[in-house]
Amino acid sequence: MSLLTTPSPMQDPGETVHKTIIFDHVSIAFDENVVLNDVSFELNRGETKMLLGVLGSGKSTILKMVIGLVRPDRGDVYLLGHHVNSMKEEELFDLRRQVGMVFQESALFDSLTVRENVAYRLIEEGVEQEEIERRVREALRFVELERTIDQFPSELSGGMRRRVAIARAIISHPEVLLYDSPTAGLDPVTSTTIIELLVKQRDVYHTSALMVTHRLPDTFTMASHYFDEKENKMKPIPPGSPIQAPSSFLVLRDGKIIFDGSVHELVNSSDEYIREYIS
């Protein structure tokens, strides 16, 4: 088990380029409340890492730190080889364009239509109108919501809003995706639809991703399934198959990482807290 990978305090600049995300001894507290305490982990290219932990364990804070929405009190955060916490806000805007983020409550712009929400990044970049229309439809087709293109977010269900948020995040084909509880509060069928989209994104586009979630079944589905492009659907990996689902797990407790490893290592963990958590 690659438990608690602790990179050296001063990362080799060359090393940071080969990893999508590196957290190096990161700590943060809000007022007196320590949220993250000396957290270190790495995300490999093309891998999806699932962050598990009870409410308030700092999972969403980690996602916001990756793109500099929140700055650590101590430690270093690297994203695609860039040292995030030493960058100015102005410089971060360019880096953030290489990342897609799906917020817990979708965070769609409620005064814009689905088309305008999904196209937001392309409009900002000054992409041609025809190209925008083509890519918006492509992204909405990916999440199977093309029919909602002229609707407002308030007219959609929770699951549909989450899928529009995924379309908005993937439209510019980012190198990294950050999902904050993408299936929270959804029924099992909608939840499976969304997990299928995430598996498709991972296996078809090989996008690196960090996913915060409370739903263990979803994480196990992600770790045990692959996306079959020919049949355009998610399938379980047959036993003994060479097919890989590049996924790993990270468990947080009281602001510290208590587990960082594969699904097999997680289910075979002897740690009492983890056994109770996954039972």
Partner 1 sequence: MDLSPSDYIKEYLLAIQDYAVLSGQSIANLFRRPRYLGEMLMQADIMGVGSLPVVIMTGFSIGASLALQSSNTLQRFGSLSLTGQLVSLSMVRELGPLLTGMMVAGRNSSGMASELGSMKVTEQIDAMRALGTDPTKKLVTPRVISSIIMLFILTIIGDLVGLCGGWTIARLVLGLDSNQYWSTAWQSLQFADVFMGLFKPLLFGFIVSSIGCYYGMFAKGGTQGVGRATTQAVVVADVLIVVVDFFVSKFLMSVMHVH
Binding site for partner 1 (CB under 8 A): 64, 67, 69, 89-90, 93-94, 96-97, 99, 101, 103-105, 107-110, 120-121, 124, 168
Write out the two tokens for 95: 């880096």
User: Closest CB to partner 1 among 12 and 105?
Assistant: 105
Q: How far is the CB of 263 from partner 1 (least distance, A)?
A: 29
Q: Which residues contact 214 (CB under 8 A, 6 or more apart)?
A: 52, 55, 181, 184
Nearest of 21, 17, 38, 62 to residue 179 by alpha carbon: 62
Q: How far is the CB of 169 from partner 1 (least distance, A)?
A: 9
User: Closest CB to partner 1 among 94 and 228?
Assistant: 94
Q: Residue 124: is it exposed, middle or buried by C-beta count within 10 angstroms (0-12/13-18/19+)?
A: exposed
Q: How far is the CB of 121 from partner 1 (least distance, A)?
A: 5
DSSP secondary structure string for all residues of 131-180: HHHHHHHHHHHHTT-GGGTTS-GGGS-HHHHHHHHHHHHHTT--SEEEEE
Q: How far is the CB of 100 from partner 1 (least distance, A)?
A: 8
Q: How far is the CB of 93 from partner 1 (least distance, A)?
A: 5
Q: How far is the CB of 201 from partner 1 (least distance, A)?
A: 17
Q: Are strands 74-79 and 19-30 parallel, antiparallel or unpaired?
A: antiparallel
User: Closest CB to partner 1 among 148 and 172?
Assistant: 172
CA dist 39 to 32, 158, 252, Å?
18, 32, 9
User: Closest CB to partner 1 among 177 and 234?
Assistant: 177
Tell me which amino acid residue 88 is: K
User: Closest CB to partner 1 among 119 and 198?
Assistant: 119
User: Closest CB to partner 1 among 73 and 110?
Assistant: 110
Q: How far is the CB of 105 from partner 1 (least distance, A)?
A: 6
DSSP secondary structure string for all residues of 76-132: EEEETTEEGGGS-HHHHHHHHTTEEEEBTTB---TTS-HHHHHHHHHHHTT--HHHH
User: Closest CB to partner 1 among 92 and 278?
Assistant: 92
